[in-house]
């Protein structure tokens, strides 16, 4: 599904040049649940942002279902992202002025889905995320776990093949964090491919493979046999 070859990315500021990704080669098969771990600053978010077409890299290649994406123009990238990728961030990134319902509905409006279908899909998603009663609430009126469930609902509403999650439980206590992990596991069981950055060994234990990064490079990978066997 995803194939990354010799990906290198630099950040340049006036004073310094940082090699955020160094010669990264990485494949993800459909249906996998991959965790990315490693110390702060090692390039995890950069890699996820490149995978999500939110950022680009200078060298190497990145194909998604055999289509080269690295050199697409902004407009094509944005269209590809909306069609195939859902993003979940550590800080939820909900729109505070919109209700729960409206936050989840927004990607459907951007995608040009009609009013009746939007209503059905949003209500189904809120039910699935156990948020039906919170539909008219604003993000600030919700617990962190509820907010992250809204964010997951928004990420899923366009039925993406790939979910990218950057420390999705990083701002949550363990109860709320576990709720979010339950949803991600359920999604993965239903076939959605997930790539998740995490600092939590517990969260990583739910994935089929753990990739460890250091200094912009992938240093080791560990297949979690029991989980991986389910893919075969």
Ligand X SMILES: Nc1ncnc2c1ncn2[C@@H]1O[C@H](COP(=O)(O)OP(=O)(O)O)[C@@H](O)[C@H]1O
Which residues are at the interface with ligand X (CB under 6 A)? 11, 13, 18, 20, 38, 40-46
Of 90 and 208, the one with the shorter C-beta distance to Mg ion is: 90
Least distance (Å) between residue 89 CB and ligand X: 12
Of 16 and 232, the one with the shorter C-beta distance to ligand X is: 16
Least distance (Å) between residue 44 CB and ligand X: 3
198 binds Mg ion (CB under 5 A): no
Least distance (Å) between residue 44 CB and Mg ion: 5
Please name every residue paired with 86 in a beta bridge, in sequence order, or none if there are none. Answer: 163
Least distance (Å) between residue 171 CB and ligand X: 15
The entry of Mg ion, ligand X, none near residue 42 (CB within 5 to 8 angstroms by kind) is ligand X
Q: Largest Cα–Cα distance in the chain?
A: 53
Q: Single out the segment in contact with Mg ion by CB under 5 A; choices: 45-53, 57-65, 137-145, 218-226.
A: 45-53
Least distance (Å) between residue 110 CB and Mg ion: 26
Helix 100-110 vs helix 115-128: crossing angle, to nearest 10: 130
Question: Which position has the token pair 């069981």?
Answer: 189
What is the Cα–Cα distance from 130 to 119, expressed in whole angstroms? 16
45 binds Mg ion (CB under 5 A): yes
Map the footprint of Mg ion across residues 201-220, applying CB under 5 A. Answer: none
Of 142 and 204, the one with the shorter C-beta distance to ligand X is: 204
What is the Cα–Cα distance from 137 to 100, expressed in whole angstroms? 6
Least distance (Å) between residue 14 CB and ligand X: 11
Neighbouring C-alpha atoms within 13 Å toward the C-beta of 153: 28
The entry of ligand X, Mg ion, none near residue 18 (CB within 5 to 8 angstroms by kind) is ligand X
Q: For residue 132, what are the contacts with CB-CB under 8 A and spacing of at least 6?
A: 123, 126
35 binds Mg ion (CB under 5 A): no
Q: For residue 195, what are the contacts with CB-CB under 8 A and spacing of at least 6?
A: 28, 34, 36, 48, 51, 162, 163, 164, 165
**CB nearest Mg ion: which residue?**
45
Q: For residue 86, what are the contacts with CB-CB under 8 A and spacing of at least 6?
A: 154, 155, 156, 158, 160, 162, 163, 164
Of 52 and 153, the one with the shorter C-beta distance to ligand X is: 52
Q: Which residues bind Mg ion (CB under 5 A)?
A: 45
């Amino acid at each position: 599904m995803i194939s990354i070859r010799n990906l290198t990315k630099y950040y340049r500021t006036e004073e310094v040049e940082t090699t955020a990704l160094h010669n990264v080669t990485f494949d993800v098969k459909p249906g996998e649940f991959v965790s990315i771990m490693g110390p702060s600053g090692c390039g995890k978010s950069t890699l996820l942002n490149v995978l999500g077409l939110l950022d680009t890299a200078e060298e190497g290649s990145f194909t998604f279902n055999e289509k080269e994406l690295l050199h697409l123009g902004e407009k094509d990238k944005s269209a590809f992202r909306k069609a195939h990728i859902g993003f979940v961030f550590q800080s939820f990134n909900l729109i505070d002025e919109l209700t729960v319902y409206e936050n989840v509905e927004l990607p459907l409006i951007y995608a040009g889905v009609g009013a009746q279908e939007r209503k059905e899909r949003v209500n189904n998603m809120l039910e699935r995320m156990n948020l039906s009663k919170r539909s008219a609430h604003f993000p600030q009126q919700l617990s962190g776990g509820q907010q992250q469930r809204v964010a997951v609902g928004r990420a899923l509403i366009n039925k993406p093949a790939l979910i990218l999650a950057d420390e999705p439980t990083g701002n949550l206590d363990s109860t709320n964090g576990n709720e979010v992990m339950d949803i991600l596991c359920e999604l993965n069981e239903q076939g959605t491919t997930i790539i998740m950055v995490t600092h939590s060994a517990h969260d990583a234990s739910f994935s089929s493979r753990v990739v460890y990064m250091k200094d912009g490079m992938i240093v080791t990978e560990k297949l979690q046999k029991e989980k991986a066997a389910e893919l075969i």
